[in-house]
């Protein structure tokens, strides 16, 4: 359904984010102090995950025992460790995306619908790219497959 509403974003000298549509203009302040703290927090988390990923990679590269029972156990463990590595890579990608949104002045706005992401959601998931409604829709789509 086309509502005829066209939204345009722009950052005004890193002090505010302007959302303009056909009928209105809404301005969101960009709180630089809190974004600096958040950026540091996300960068520390990303560094921690990269170190964890290095340990996981080293663990997966080590050799296997010649004993067949021990080798089977090591292969099983490797699958679990590989899954943990995939989760770390996914989280690193989300953090990198959040850092890019902070730099562009779009942090805190849903990447899908453009609405403001609730503060509580960002506190719980600082690299969330979507509002809770869009996240629920995505989850619903994934579970229906």
**Chain segment 27-81, per-residue pLDDT in tens:** 555 555 677 888 899 999 999 999 998 988 887 777 665 666 766 667 667 777 7
Please give the structure tokens belonging to residue 121. Answer: 């959601």
Contacts of 33 (CB under 8 A, 6+ apart): none
Ranking 16-25, 29-38, 95-104 by mean pLDDT, the lowest is: 16-25
Asked if 18 and 12 count as a contact pair (C-beta separation under 8 A), the reply is: yes
Say whether pLDDT at 93 is over 90: yes
Residue 1: exposed, middle, or buried by beta-carbon count in 10 A (0-12, 13-18, 19+)?
exposed
Contacts of 35 (CB under 8 A, 6+ apart): 102, 107
Say whether pLDDT at 20 is over 70: no
């Amino acid at each position: 359904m086309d509502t005829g509403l066209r939204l345009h974003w722009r950052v005004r000298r890193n002090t505010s984010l302007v959302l303009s549509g056909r009928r209105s203009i809404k301005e969101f302040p960009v709180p630089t102090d809190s974004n600096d703290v958040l950026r540091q927090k996300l960068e520390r988390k990303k560094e921690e995950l990269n170190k964890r990923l290095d340990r996981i990679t080293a663990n997966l590269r080590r050799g296997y025992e010649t004993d067949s029972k021990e080798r089977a156990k090591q292969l099983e463990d490797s699958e679990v460790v590989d899954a943990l590595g995939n989760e770390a890579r996914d989280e690193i990608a989300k953090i990198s995306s959040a850092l890019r949104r902070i730099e562009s002045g779009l942090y805190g706005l849903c990447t899908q619908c453009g609405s403001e992401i609730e503060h509580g959601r960002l506190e719980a998931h600082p690299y969330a790219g979507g509002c809770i409604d869009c996240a629920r829709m995505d989850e619903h789509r994934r579970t229906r497959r």
